[in-house]
Amino acid sequence: MEVSFDQGFVFLGGGLDDSTGVAILAAITFDKEMQLVSSCQVGPSDMNCVYSMRRLKEGNILFCGGYRSIAVMLFDEINKAFYTMCNVEGVMQDQISDLRFFEGSLFCISPA
């Protein structure tokens, strides 16, 4: 879970609860209404689930860690839509359980 740059939205990641292994990203208003404003499929077909997420502090660019992959997504607050910036496959041998920024680099943590 991450909060948007202006703190108007909450971003949640996960996966569909079925055998398809589809990773999902959603934006929900960060107020008492808590309304779903946008959702999309994330990453390559074998990503399975969004296990971890980090937002760049300068805007609404999200790094989503999945199974062996990272999807870089942009959330447009005006159009309330997600856009895929890129997918990086084969980053780790297993799920990416955490992502951290340190001195301009992105570090991935995996249980394997």
Q: Give the pLDDT band (50/70/90) at residue 19.
A: low
Could you tell me the CA-to-CA distances from 12 to 22, 36, 49 in Å, in that order? 14, 10, 11
Kindly report the CATH number assigned to the domain that includes residue 28: 2.40.128
Q: Cα–Cα distance between 87 and 103 in angstroms, integer? A: 22
Residue 97, pLDDT score: 92
What's the number of domains the chain is made of?
1
pTM of the model: 0.89
pLDDT at 18 over 70: no
Chain position carrying tokens 């390559």 = 44
Q: Which domain holds residue 68?
A: 2-109
How does the average pLDDT of the chain come out, rounded?
90
